[in-house]
Amino acid sequence: MADESQQDQRRADFLAQTAQIAFTELQRYFAAGRLVKVSDGLDLVEVAVQLSQDNAKQFEQWLEQGKLDGVNDEQATLWLSENRVLWAVVADPWVLVQERNSAA
């Protein structure tokens, strides 16, 4: 199926672009209101795929469950003070970030 093949390609593209990055490098996206915090329980790449497909229903569900949220000032201050490194992927115009309990 072409749609499934396209989704697999998007998944591979996002996976290749996913990397660890210091929060200090993400501050400009935070200032622009473009950082989205993804809970540790979600697959960061899958969230990017769904965002790229404008899957509003899935996003509403994740938001209601508290699995996605904008990064607030308190969180940003903590990450900055701890020089936190996050996993991130760009799903234009958003930058999805995720804290992971295990150091990878």
104 lies in some domain:
no
- For residue range 12-67, list pLDDT tens digits in order: 999 999 999 999 999 999 999 999 999 999 999 999 999 999 999 999 999 999 99
Q: What is the DSSP letter of 53?
A: T
Strands 68-70 and 35-38: antiparallel
Query: How many other β-carbons are positioned within 10 Å of the β-carbon of residue 60?
Result: 11
Q: How many domains does the chain have?
A: 1
Q: State how far the alpha carbon of 72 is from the alpha carbons of 8, 10, 25, 37, in Å.
A: 32, 29, 17, 9
Q: Contact 10/52 with Cβ under 8 angstroms?
A: yes
Q: Which range marks the domain in which residue 60 is found?
A: 2-98
- Whole-model pTM: value is 0.89
- For residue range 27-42, list pLDDT tens digits in order: 999 999 999 999 999 9
Query: How many other β-carbons are positioned within 10 Å of the β-carbon of residue 4?
Result: 8
